[in-house]
Amino acid sequence: MSDADGMQPFWTSLTLTQMSHSEWESLCDGCGRCCLHKLECEDSGEVYYTDVACRNLDCSAGRCLDYRNRQTLVPECLVLKPEDIESFHWLPATCAYRLVAEGKSLPIWHPLLTGDSESVVRAGISVRGRVVLESSVSPDEFEERVIHWIS
């Protein structure tokens, strides 16, 4: 797909480290999956997602309540940076950051392709309405809350 002036979309012509801040931020589809608590198997390194969301996630909207100040409000919040590409293995297989890093195409439902931020919800990718806040679950219960709808 190319844009109106015949140029290739930035995510196909630039590496993650070459992108401007606004290009980088626009790759996020807003699914909220990175805001879920994850468990990692010490032996295999495999990452398991839970349906337990960060305290700063609006579960009904599937979005961060205060994205700009997220690290102040939640110091353990991981901020994705281009220089951390090698550690993107924990991101879901649908994540544009991971896909671009792996040289793959964006999924057809991605807002950059559809022009519609709700396309991620319609595609069943968003966590909207599918998760609970960490304040409602004891950390001892996280293993019981592993989900299988995230790849």
Asked if residue 10 is part of any domain, the answer here is no
Handedness of CA 123, 127, 128, 131 (dihedral sign): positive
CA distance 61 to 54: 13
| Domain-located, residue 7 | no
3 lies in some domain: no
Give me 143's structure tokens: 């293993």
Q: What is the pLDDT of residue 114?
A: 98
**What local confidence, expressed as pLDDT, does residue 7 receive?**
84
Domain contains 54: yes
pLDDT at 79: 87
Residues (pLDDT < 50) of the chain are: 1-2
Q: What is the residue range of 106's domain? A: 20-145
Model confidence pLDDT, tens digit, residues 94-119? 999 999 999 999 999 999 999 999 99
Quick one: pLDDT at residue 3? Answer: 55
Report residue 42 as tokens: 């010490």
Task: Return the pLDDT at 113.
Answer: 98
Number of domains in the chain: 1
Examine residue 141 and state whether it is found in any structural domain, yes or no: yes
Cα 127 to Cα 62: distance, rounded to the nearest angstrom: 6
For residue 118, being part of any structural domain is answered with yes
Instruction: Give the predicted TM-score (pTM) of the model.
Output: 0.88
- Please say whether the beta carbons of 101 and 111 come within 8 A: no
Asked if residue 6 is part of any domain, the answer here is: no
Let me know if residue 9 belongs to a domain: no
The residues facing 48 across adjacent strands are 39
C-alpha–C-alpha distance, residues 77 and 91, integer Å: 14
CB neighbour class for 102 (10 Å; exposed up to 12, middle 13-18, buried from 19): exposed
